[in-house]
Amino acid sequence: MKKKIGGDCILFTIGGVVYGLIEIVWRKYTHWSMVITGGVCFIVLYRMFKKITECSMAVKCLVGSTVITAIELIAGYIFNICMKLRVWDYSKMPMNFCGQICLLYSVLWGFLTVPIVMVCKAINKKFNL
């Protein structure tokens, strides 16, 4: 139990820091809520990719895109709608849903899944968290 909690803390930190850095490179800034969102995404994806090792990369990219988009929608509802933090707004983007998710970023999350899969595989091989 302690190993799983410790492992999840490590995964959360990796995901949160990397997601925050991606945001800084992409948008020139980030928000603490994105660190949380990235951490949660990485834990979920790591656990899922440990279970679906035999799937093709295309399937993993579809899974990654779906998971990240779903978590982004939940985070958007919490941080942008309920807490009114206005962290992001995709309402001007085509094919958006309530300004919280959009098709363009869902596709980009699919491409981002490729390096995520490789990092998850390396972490699992070395540490088996």
What's the whole-number average pLDDT of the chain? 96
Task: Tell me what the mean pLDDT of segment 94-107 comes to.
Answer: 98
Q: How far is CA 89 from the centre of its chain?
A: 17
Among candidate residues 29, 16, 10, the one with its CA nearest the CA of residue 88? 29
Alpha carbon of 28 to those of 20, 22, 25: distances in Å? 10, 9, 5
In degrees rounded to 5, what are phi and psi of residue 52?
-110, 50
Residue 2 has pLDDT above 80, yes or no: no
The domain ranges of the chain are 2-127
pTM, rounded to two decimals: 0.94
The pLDDT of residue 69 is 98
The pLDDT of residue 4 is 82
Residue 129 has pLDDT above 90, yes or no: no
Q: What is the pLDDT of residues 20-33, one digit of tens each?
A: 999 999 999 999 99
Task: Tell me what the mean pLDDT of segment 82-100 comes to.
Answer: 97
Residue 93 has pLDDT above 90, yes or no: yes
Instruction: Kindly state the helix (H) or strand (E) to which residue 129 belongs, with its residue range.
Output: none
